[in-house]
Chain A
Amino acid sequence: MKLALGPLSYHWPRQRVLDFYAAMAAAPLDTVYLGEVICLRRTELSHEDWLALAAELAAAGKEVVLSTQALIESEGDLKRMRRVCGNGDYRVEVNDWNAVPLAAAAPGWVAGPHLNAYNPETLQLLHERGARRWVPPVESARETVAGALAKRPPELEAELFAHGRMPLAFSARCFSARRFNLQKENCEQRCGEFPEGIPLASRDGTAFLVMNGVQTQSARVYCLARDLASVRAAGVDGLRISPQARDTGRVIELLHRLCAGALGAGEAYEALVAASPAPLANGFWHGRAGMEALA
């Protein structure tokens, strides 16, 4: 089982991003996804900065993939998407159908979790266009993934979102700006003040969601550590870990040891509870409400 670090979803200061990936260079990861996937207004790192990070991580032996933005609206979004697709050196993760026709320029591209590829026929289409890895939508149940992979096209890998706050929705509206009664065009990049997004609780005080700019995440942390056997049986080749503000390295280490058989599922799970910013959940994998935690 391969381990991958998904793209950073939060807006961190430049130095924090650089320090984070410097640490990741030594982590037991096969693949690192890089790039800004949420919002064009997050400008702490330029395209060139991401390419420099890519070069460093590649030199450290990681497979580097550059991710495209998940929601494409403006000509500016399209322009950046084209630069990522045409980078010429690294594989590309496509997160929007606007990028699919351009992805042919990036051999072996990755069909990302926001593409809504749910079935073998869509996988076949993406494969014909050159995709060689599929990341199922985060809401996919075991049945969905196993069913799609039963007729898997040749050389198509499957990487499953397996740990982190779930990316649940995208909007044209920026909820971080809205929290401060700011307009999106003058957002003052307030999302940058919240390294794990802005928590939202229901009115009885229960943590429910997280606002991260135009993205809404789950409060609970997805974790498939106790489901490794069924994940393997479904035909999945890799697990994706989503960066969190603290202890990402610890999460990677625990999943690495779990996959290598050096740590039992129960033990790994308890340690992952301690290393995660909120209670864990795995309902989606079981075809249930995503916030549920099933043993």
Chain B
Amino acid sequence: MPAVELVCPAGGLPALREAVDAGADWVYAGLRDDTNARNFPALNFDDASLGAGIRYAHQRGRKVVLAINTYPQAHNWTRWTDAVDRAQWLGADAIIAADPGLLRYAHRKHPKLELHLSVQGSATSYEAINFFHEQFGIRRAVLPRVLSLAQLELVASRTPVEMEVFGFGGLCVMVEGRCSLSGYACGASPNMAGACSPAHAVRWTDTAQGLESRLNGVLIDRYSKRERAAYPTVCKGRYESMGETYHAFEEPTSLNTLELLPEFARIGVRAVKLEGRQRSPAYVAQVTRIWRAALDALESAPGRFKLQAQWRTELAAMSEGSQQTLGAFSRPWK
């Protein structure tokens, strides 16, 4: 069984170097525009920093994959095709894309460029994954965070495409690529603009009822002094339904699947991805180091893999909202 690869986030050159030094097999990155799903101010790469990052990784035998995983439209199409061309020109090892038209462009224009299907493509089963494989030769698919282990196993048994799953970090409760909540509330569409609930639309106000978080004027939550405030993403808010106020969609939690690594390996998952291109280089270094240690332990003695208490403690300290979940892999709510 091939080793499970570790795919780590980089929002800039320092994070990329930290990820490589801490043991990432792949680093994923985006350009400084809406061609990627982390289109945040002061984040991401230009040609010079991406080129430097790719050289840094290649000198150490690691790979860089460029996320071009939002959906272009007729009026901005060439920005996306330029991004694909730049990935090839700068020597990226692969691109991650979601838009079928763009995947076809990349496949025809750069037949040797390795293509990964983005989680934003919301390919939830093998029929879609195999279709993208036959049409565009995708080598790897990043699976939506909605699938259970049993569903992953079914997909793995019916496709030649490598499966990459999310291991740690922020968690979308909605199917990636199928969510217009942010666009509805504030006009920023994850699919088209690469942004969800962007900071410029967020307002924090101290009121007599408590600290209020608003997104483009919509009250997402209100906190008492004892409560820890969370970033006002629409799906993480507290709302009223028939007299009850609660987290209607999901408590603010973050994904941590470290304990599932042996299961991932058994069913043939090829790579585990860490979320967090918006996080600091220090965060990337620390999370990468822990996952590297866990993957090395798994590879050296697959039958005797044991979660170390220290990994657990350190990862818990870095989780959003301090709560962790196995996400859809275990389905307490199902």
Contact = CB atoms under 8 A, between A and B. Distances in A.
Interface stretch (B4-12, B50-58, B127-135, B302-310): B127-135
Interface stretch (A20-28, A201-209, A224-232): A201-209
Interface residues of B, number: 68
Q: Is the interface of B mostly helix, strand, loop or mixed?
A: mixed
Nearest to A288: B187
A9 B102 CA distance: 31
B186 to A, nearest CB: 5
A147 B73 contact: yes
Contacts of B248: 175, 178-179, 200, 209, 211
Interface string A133-156: 000011100011001101100000
A241 B219 CA distance: 29
B72 interface: yes
Contact of B238 (A96, A203, A209, A288): A203
Contacts, number: 221
B219 A170 contact: no
Q: Is the interface of A mostly helix, strand, loop or mixed?
A: mixed
Q: How large is the interface on A (under 10, 10 to 19, 20 to 34, 35 or more residues)?
A: 35 or more
B71 to A, nearest CB: 4
B124 A73 contact: yes
Contacts of B237: 202
Contact of B242 (A148, A198, A209, A283): A198
Nearest to A146: B74
A53 interface: no
B279 interface: no
Given A119-B72, A121-B77, A74 B219 contact: no
Interface string A78-100: 10000000000000000011111
22 contacts: A71-B124, A75-B154, A98-B131, A100-B128, A100-B131, A116-B98, A116-B122, A118-B191, A120-B74, A120-B101, A121-B77, A122-B99, A122-B100, A125-B101, A138-B180, A169-B181, A172-B147, A173-B173, A198-B242, A200-B241, A208-B218, A208-B239
Interface of B: 71-75, 77, 98-102, 104-105, 121-125, 127-128, 130-132, 134-135, 146-147, 151, 154, 173-175, 177-181, 183-187, 189, 191-192, 216, 218-222, 235, 237-242, 244-245, 248-250, 328, 331-334
The 6 A-B pairs at the shortest CB distance, nearest first, are namely: A147-B74, A121-B101, A172-B146, A290-B184, A122-B101, A97-B128
